[in-house]
Amino acid sequence: MCKENCSGNCLNNETCYHIDGHCMKGCETGFQGEKCDALCPPGTFGEDCAGNCSGNCDNNDTCYFINGHCLWGCRDGFRGKRCDEQNSPVALTGSCIYGIDYVYGLTAGLVISFILNVGFLFTVIKLIRKKKNKQGTDHSTSEVNDREGFQQRSIPVSHVENHAYEELNATQSVHIYQNLSLNDNKTSFM
152 confidence band (pLDDT: 50, 70, 90): low
Mean pLDDT lowest for which of 5-19, 32-46, 77-91? 77-91
Domain residue limits, the chain: 113-181
Secondary structure, 3-state, the chain? CCCCCCCCCEHHHCCCCCCCCCCCCCECCCEECCCCCEECCCCEECHHHCEECCCCEHHHCCCCCCCCCCCCCECCCEECCCCCEECCCCCCCCCCCCCHHHHHHHHHHHHHHHHHHHHHHHHHHHHHHHHHHHHHHCCCEEEEECCCCCEEEEEEHHHHCCCHHHHCCCCCCCCHHHHCEEECCEEECC
Q: Which position has the higher pLDDT, 31 or 3?
A: 31
Cα 66 to Cα 53: distance, rounded to the nearest angstrom: 11
Q: Which amino acid is at 29?
A: T
| CA 43 to chain centroid | 43
Cα 28 to Cα 37: distance, rounded to the nearest angstrom: 10
pLDDT in tens, 95-151: 455 566 777 888 888 999 999 999 999 898 988 888 888 776 555 444 555 555 555
pLDDT in tens, 83-94: 999 987 654 454
